[in-house]
Amino acid sequence: MKRTAGALLLLLAAFGLAAKMLQVQVLRANLLAKPDFLSAGVLAVKKGDRLELLETHGSWYRVRGAGSVMGYVHQTAVSEARASLGTIAPGRKGASAEELALAAKGFNEGNEKKLRGSKGYNFADLEWVMDWNPAAAEVARFIRQGRLQ
Amino acid sequence: MKRLLPIALCVLLFSWKPPVSLSKLSKAKKGLDLVSGAAHKITEEEEYFIGRAVAARILAEYPLWKSREATRYLNLVGRTLAWRSQRPEIYGGYHFAVLDTPEANAFSAPGGIVFLTRGIVAMTANEDELAAVLAHEIQHVVAKDPLKAIKSQRLKALGTFAADEAMGSGGRVMGVFQESVLDISGTLLQKGYSRGQEKRADLGALELLAAAGYDPGALLSMLEKVKAGEKKKVRAFSAHPSASKRIAYVASGVDRGAGGRNGSARTARFERALSRR
């Protein structure tokens, strides 16, 4: 009986001590060497990547990413990852609740495709606008040259 | 037998499914979330896609000024500000572009796509004034003001269509998507935000300018130019409250000692990038 209670306690402790995981919620972001956008990037991450939360520094998180690379990410780039138990629990089929909610609202890529070519929408020029993505290093240089912060 | 007990407990724990009543509660909550339709319920990804559609609609109304030098420069100033905002990371990143029209205006689509017109760019005398216009628009993105322009009835309707869409019939949902785009573009181009939203964007812009090292007073000088234009009946910021009202609260919020030092370091690049204004 003692062994059973011990095993149960061990199991509960394991759940309590489980690392808190975050998930990247933006298309692209960088883990940075310091909690400042002006610092060097140490790892490029993308939507859906999972990061282990190590510490909180104001509005920044210190995290561990792929290859155990550690760095800082701004809290607006990530959300709390859902517990992975759901993914291994039996009986899960098809889209997640989030995927269904997204589809239900209709603000998605599928409906954008239906709009393409419609009168009153100019997606060709939009792509020209969306292609402008200055690299973080270029923005940092621009800030320094302009004596900004 | 005793040894098997912990293993059995583990198996039970991992294979446990919530009772039906809990599952029903969860579905009901999801329905309520959809029906409540508040802007904060729209995810980053949804905001991105509706923002793209709104931007595509604006680009059908106004030609785009495809100056590579000006657009590159505008994106660098914009990103500088966005990094110091309350919402530096956004689903698809911030994007800034200039519309080729003499009308003086600026607006931001959901998801961080910000447009300035050549008319407003021509009114700016230096990088700090350009930054002031961008900072105001970024604050609308931070506050998700464009999303709040979606009429609540649209999202309420989506709540009732949710089951249909999940089954794959999305015609009515597509209609709501288009109507939501029209709600937002109508607010951006004609109706305008509420005075409260504009005031919050102005006051937030002052803080953002100071945080990035720009002169917050540049917002005041831009509003004074807009006010002068209003007297001459120049069409400027047609969807914004009058400049006189904005000047009153912006002037009291400007900390003359904050930021804006070393403005000369920015003059050359401003002139170079926007020389063909």
Q: Which tens digits make up the pLDDT trace of A61-110?
A: 999 999 999 999 999 999 998 654 333 333 334 445 555 455 556 788 98
Residue B237: pLDDT band (50, 70, 90) is low
Instruction: Please pick, among B127, B129, B137, B207, the residue that the annotation labels catalytic.
Output: B137
Q: Which tens digits make up the pLDDT trace of A22-65?
A: 999 999 999 999 999 999 999 999 999 999 999 999 999 999 99
CB contact under 8 A, A114 and B76: no
Question: From its phi and psi, is residue B262 left (phi > 0), alpha (psi between -120 and 50) or beta?
Answer: left
B169 has pLDDT over 60: no
Q: What is the pLDDT of residue B30?
A: 43
Contact map slice: A 104-143 vs B, CB within 8 A: 104-112, 114-115, 119-123, 125-126, 128-130, 132-134, 138-139, 142-143
pTM listed for this prediction: 0.82
Q: What is the pLDDT of residue B152?
A: 81
What is the C-alpha to C-alpha distance for residues A129 and B31, in angstroms, rounded to an integer?
36
Contacts of A120 in chain B (CB under 8 A): 57, 60
Domain boundaries, chain B: 37-273
Average of per-residue pLDDT across B257-262: 66
Average of per-residue pLDDT across B173-193: 90
Q: Which residues contact A71 (CB under 8 A, 6 or more apart)?
A: A30, A31, A32, A33, A41, A42, A43, A62, A63, A65
Candidates 3.20.20.140, 3.40.50.11890, 3.40.50.300, 2.30.30.40; correct CATH number of A19-93? 2.30.30.40
Contact map slice: A 56-75 vs B, CB within 8 A: 74
* A57 touches A86 (CB < 8 A): no
- Report the Cα A137 to chain-centroid distance in Å: 21
CB contact under 8 A, B89 and A4: no
* B198 touches B246 (CB < 8 A): yes
DSSP per-residue codes, chain A:
-HHHHHHHHHHHHHHHHSPPEEEE-SSEEEEESSSSTTSPEEEEEETT-EEEEEEEETTEEEEE-GGG-EEEEEGGGEEEPPPTHHHHSTT--SS-HHHHHHHHHT-SHHHHHHHTT-TT--HHHHHHHHT----HHHHHHHHHHTT--
What is the C-alpha to C-alpha distance for residues B131 and B181, in angstroms, rounded to an integer?
27
Contact map slice: A 20-39 vs B, CB within 8 A: 25-29, 37
Helix B68-83, helix B195-212: angle, nearest 10 = 90
CB nearest to A4's CB, from B5, B44, B213: B5
* Residue A141 to chain B, least CA–CA distance (Å): 10
What DSSP state is assigned to residue B240?
S
CB nearest to B165's CB, from A90, A104, A119: A104
CB contact under 8 A, B42 and A101: no
> Nearest Cα to A108, choosing from B29, B146, B56, B52?
B52
Domain boundaries, chain A: 19-93, 95-149
Scored b (16 or more CB within 10 A) or e, A103-117 reads bbbbbbeebbeebee
The token pair that represents A102 in the structure block? 């997204």
B224 is catalytic: no
Q: What is the pLDDT of residue B10?
A: 45
